[in-house]
Amino acid sequence: MTQKGSLDQQARHQALGLTNERAVAMYETMMLARKFDERGQVLQRAGKVNFHISGITQEPSQVAMGFAMDLEKDWFLPYYRDYGLVLTIGMTVKELMLALFGKGEDPNSAGRQMSAHFGCRRLRIATGSSPVTTQVPHAVGFALASKIRGEKSVAIVSFGEGSSNQGDFHEGCNFAGVQKLPVIFVCENNGYAISVPLSKQTAGRISDRALGYGFPGIRVDGHDPLEVYRVFREAHERALAGEGPTLIEIMTYRVTPHSTSDNDMAYRTKEEVDANRTKDALPAFRAYLEQLGLWSEAQEQALQQRIRKELDEATAYAEQAPYQSAEDAFRYVYAEDNGEVR
């Protein structure tokens, strides 16, 4: 995150309408997402869970975009690295752990899906699927329903840059542009579609593709969460005003392997990864808060202790929780006679 020279410039969050308390809450949520992600990697390496997919260094931008949304009215269709977003929306560490362990209490899929395939009815998170980009036309459908019903809500859908080359992306953008739907398309461009670098998968800027569909496309630095917040807040206001979609391309970097099943050193160098780690927005945002007197070492230590306790309790609970029973095999598959989903 870029540091500014004067006090007025440093207090950028206030100029954006964020209170001091909200700015601090953003940092705390970023750190919670980071520590959950790190714990997931440790659990996989220890043989406690089978699979983990990481979004380390992408959390600051994910949290920032979540803070710009209306958590009571909007619809969320996140992709599989969005721990920062779903924690901002209201998913708990305990629920994420249940999903990571694949247990029956997992609110996303009762342990049926791979971890990080989010879906939670109470939080307005639509169920995600493993085939990439299928959530894009679904988000457009949510936006169309909101428009037909006259509801003041926005659908937000995120995906990686590799997904932007799929037909679902283009079909969703085209329909949303024609209908001027309240949807925000979010490309979290982290530089790699598994092992394929951006230079070998995409020509030009992904954000420029929006021009062909009749709505704005914006590229934003993912290492500057306050700028991310500003861009998303404006896109949200546009959508609510009936001005249609926005495509936002967040420029970030994937410092971890694609997943715990991937050997990223087969297609890139350690020097490249290390160089990008130095751009991590999390310590930069902490430094910003410290410069304003909003954060201290004592607060940091207290936060780390709270997070450690929350993670330990969630891990212990999820590890001991039962898997889905055979009797519940058709849970979430068929509707009850009264119309409620089992």
Which of the residues are catalytic?
Answer: 254, 258, 267
Pairing mode of beta strands 192-193, 196-197: antiparallel
Query: Which amino acid, one-letter code, is at 313?
Result: E
Radius of gyration of the chain (CA): 20
CB–CB of 62/113 below 8 Å? no
Per-residue b or e along 258-289, where b marks 16 or more CB atoms closer than 10 Å to that residue's CB = bbbeeebeeebeeeebeebeeebbbebbbebb
Long-range contacts of 92-96 (CB under 8 A, 24+ apart): 92/314, 93/32, 93/36, 93/310, 93/311, 93/314, 94/313, 94/314, 94/317, 94/318, 95/120, 96/36, 96/314
Q: Within the chain, how many helices (H) and strands (E) appear? A: 12, 7
Is the CA virtual torsion 106, 129, 208, 243 positive or negative? negative
Find the length of the chain. 342
- φ, ψ for residue 121, nearest 5 deg: -60, -40
Query: Which amino acid, one-letter code, is at 304?
Result: Q
- E strand or H helix at 218: strand 217-221
Selection from 160, 165, 171, 248 nearest residue 201 by Cα = 165
CB–CB of 226/165 below 8 Å? no
* C-alpha–C-alpha distance, residues 76 and 132, integer Å: 16
Pairing mode of beta strands 196-197, 217-221: unpaired
